[in-house]
Amino acid sequence: MQEGKEPPQVVIGSFWHRCVIPATWFFRDRGVAVMTSRSYDGEYIARIIEHFGFVAVRGSSSRGGSIALLGMQRVLASGHTAAFTIDGPRGPRFVAKPGPVMLARMSGAPILCFYLAAERPWILNSWDALMIPRPFSRVHVRWTTLIHVPKDANDEQMSDFHRRIQDALERARRDAVNAIGPGAS
């Protein structure tokens, strides 16, 4: 971001699914919109995240994706930030999906990639290696620069922005883990 410019009021936050627990705590009570599956499990998750002050937008990359993107666009237009677990809901781990890039082109909102690294977290044996911070452990958040996708971006440019997001997420993860030090994840 350039010095002297006001930060954007809304962004499209993108992060890896394994960070969902520390991200839920960090961004609680801020009215951030998140995409939640239309499944039975998604209903349960929607109720939990709404308890933490999030706005649930129903749909996912595998069920109702285009409807969910339109819902996310409406949320951005109303002044709320939107967030994506960009490799969810089923992976593969650390492989970005194109949804945030499409939403950025549709809405004009910039993309902000981030990662939350925890000191000696519990790691679940799941597709995403879900991270659960231990009580009283340090968690470090690393942000990247904003990525702006023009509304007239063609397919080749969209692929380039998708690659840039993948690279930014990897950089954020590496830098956050290095900031915490040995035992971070």
Domain extent listing, the chain: 12-180
The pLDDT of residue 161: 98
**For 72, phi and psi rounded to 5 degrees?**
-65, -35
Q: What is the mean pLDDT of the chain?
A: 90
The pLDDT of residue 60: 62
The residue count for the chain = 185
The answer to whether the CB of 32 falls within 8 A of the CB of 133 is no
Q: What percent of the chain has pLDDT over 70?
A: 92
Give the C-alpha separation, 2 to 13, whole Å: 19
pTM of the model: 0.89
The pLDDT of residue 120: 94
Nearest Cα neighbor of 112 from 151, 154, 141, 155 is 141
Higher pLDDT, 31 or 3: 31
